[in-house]
Amino acid sequence: MHCDHSPSFAMPTPAMTASAVDDAERLGAAAGFVREQDTSVLLSRVLPGLDGPELRALTDRCRFAHAAVLVFPPDEQALRRQLATCGLPADVPAQPSVVVRDRLAARHHRDAADLDVRILRPAVQGPGGEHRVVEVFALTVPPGSGLSGIATDERRADHEAHLAFDVARPDPLLLRGLLASFERHGAAAGGGGYNPHEDGTVFYFTAPSGTKTPYGRVELYASGDHRDVLAEHLGRQVGERADRQAGAGQPDSARPSSGQASPAQPDGYRAAETLLRLLTGAWTTQALATCGQLRLPEAMDRDTGIGAAELARAVGADPRSLATLLRYLAMLGVVSEGPDGFRLTEVGALLEAEAPSSMRPLALMYGGPFYQSFAHLTHAVRTGQPGFEHLFGENHFDHFARDPELRALFDRSMTSSAPLFEAVPEHPVLTAAATAPGRARTVVDVAGGTGELLDRILSAHPALHGVLLELPHTLAAARARLAGTEVGARCGYLAGDFADVPPGHDVYLLSRILHDWDDERCRSILRHCADAMPRDADLLVVERLLPTDGTASLAVAWDLHMMCNTGGRERTVDHYARLFEDSGLVLVGHSPLALGAHTLHARRG
């Protein structure tokens, strides 16, 4: 029996005949899909055209939870064998599925009592270790059963196949915004319901015609009773059905009233609204920066609300103006509003200065000098020269070096993407170095900032030693940060530039360095590393990779940012492979990290 663990978008489509697809392949494809998908990338594929701030907002509030498949085993033992063959837990409990049973009975004009439909939810892990499940519906069809026709039709049409997203911290305002976002991008309301046993509300959509996944149905699941929002959603479904009937030539009595917009107008409205949302992206940046500057997170709480007037007194702001800002931040999901006032959300807590991996410095950078430089994006596009240099008269590294406060803010901002680093210490190169017999191995972090990544690696591997190469002013901040720690005792500090890469060590790191520079400068940096590396040493490069298939990616946004602010760029994996080859190195492989990044592994050629 074969299970397909190939990339999930190779999943069988409804157009394929039943004879070409057996249940094991369909089950295996669904399992592979759930294991592989990144929520942000999947949302951009489900809703083509979704990008920028709206994609980030949806990704912050929706988590890919499961994909569903309907299979037709001859008996329960066969189903358990299929689960095990596909690497899924075979001992997961099975419960009756009344909803799917009744839908099958209605579609095929059968007595529901004749259909033994079960639901199983074997757990799998997403690419970042996220808990997900494969939702398996199983209709038992013994050999020679009169139900075989149902199995043939359902395999071909795949009516029950769908993918689902869980909504984090749902509230009516948030849900209405999420539903509107799906509809703006072509998803049609497709039903839903409230389950009192689970106390959860489900909203179904038919995926837009241009969706880039093989699933035609999408589910949003919100914990709690949201039947008021559900009623609006179901009303839109009825309205859309009436519009389709009218367009198909139904009698005038079935058409919308004369006060309704014509079918062509909503598309125009949606396009205009989409463009307006895109045009207001700058407002979002400044609202987040202002939230950080006013230190609103420090004056708020996750569990207890606070009124706008009281909060204004705490942070020294005008109450009416602050209330306006708070409403906008609530729309973004940075705060939430309730009867007792405003509360901080998980997203907003990242703007607190003392939060672990605080993103406040990044908000101040993006709302400060980088925001100003983006006003000169047209100059960068026309001339090929960074907008930052056009505005400030020097490159951003020199500009920050002359301003101690700005330099310190930039150094702190570089640690704001700490989740990107979480999987780096687990890289096989570092694990092998840490467990190698004999002498202690050393990791050299080239231009490693204040030592955030090196700290993580040495903490994870007590047998390793480290060397941090940085410019003197940043090196001083790193020393202060690691002083007195066990990691600091195993770390050496070397003041210098890329030309000063120390020779003779075991593993070399370049984390988010190459994207700052053009190809010529990258080759120079890589040659310095190659010259310093012993024949058996390894180089790990952490960068975002540009997609080659038009997929929405953080790397695409950062490519624009690098062009405007540093003169650098993001690159495809093949582009990096060529730079390595030009510098006496060879790409061994690459593996994904969080936030759209990858670790590229290279060795001397």
Reduced to 3 states (helix: H, G, I; strand: E, B; else coil), residue 149 is helix
Q: Which domains does the chain have, with CATH numbers?
A: 8-237 (3.10.180.10), 281-355 (1.10.10.10), 358-416 (1.10.287), 418-604 (3.40.50.150)
| Cα–Cα distance, 249 to 255 (Å, whole number) | 9
| Cα–Cα distance, 575 to 579 (Å, whole number) | 6
Is residue 406 within 8 A of residue 413, CB to CB? The reply is no
| Cα–Cα distance, 216 to 22 (Å, whole number) | 20
Is residue 392 within 8 A of residue 561, CB to CB? The reply is no
Choice among 465, 515, 528, 590 that is catalytic: 515
Secondary structure (DSSP) of 453-481: HHHHHHHH-TT-EEEEEE-HHHHHHHHHH
Is residue 299 within 8 A of residue 335, CB to CB? The reply is no
pLDDT given for residue 237 in this prediction: 59
pLDDT given for residue 236 in this prediction: 65
| Cα–Cα distance, 22 to 3 (Å, whole number) | 10
Residue 344, strand partner residues: 335
Q: Residue 257 region, left (φ>0) first, then alpha (ψ -120 to 50), else beta?
A: beta
| Cα–Cα distance, 51 to 150 (Å, whole number) | 40
In one-letter notation, the amino acid at residue 386 is P
For residues 276, 279, 284, 290, the Cα torsion angle rounded to the nearest 10 degrees is: -120
pTM: 0.57
Is residue 190 within 8 A of residue 179, CB to CB? The reply is no
Active site residue 598: no
Alpha helices for 225-280 (secondary structure H)? 227-247, 264-279
| Cα–Cα distance, 29 to 24 (Å, whole number) | 8
Residue 467, strand partner residues: 444, 492
pLDDT given for residue 448 in this prediction: 92
Tokens of 233: 């959603």
Is residue 569 within 8 A of residue 512, CB to CB? The reply is no
| Cα–Cα distance, 128 to 422 (Å, whole number) | 10
Q: How many residues does the chain have?
A: 605
Residues of the chain with pLDDT under 70: 1-21, 197, 236-270, 415-419
Reduced to 3 states (helix: H, G, I; strand: E, B; else coil), residue 181 is helix
In one-letter notation, the amino acid at residue 358 is S
> Rounded to the nearest 5 degrees, what angle is found at the Cα of 30, between the Cα atoms of 26 and 35?
150
| Cα–Cα distance, 455 to 461 (Å, whole number) | 10
Residue 230 half-sphere exposure toward CB, CA atoms < 13 A:
20
Tokens 């880039």 sit on residue? 212
pLDDT tens for 571-603 read 999 999 999 999 999 999 999 887 778 999 999
Is residue 234 within 8 A of residue 204, CB to CB? The reply is no
Helices 472-482 & 404-413, crossing angle to 10 degrees? 60
In one-letter notation, the amino acid at residue 372 is Q
Residue 269 half-sphere exposure toward CB, CA atoms < 13 A:
9
List of E strands, 412-553: 442-446, 465-470, 491-495, 507-511, 538-544
| Cα–Cα distance, 221 to 202 (Å, whole number) | 5
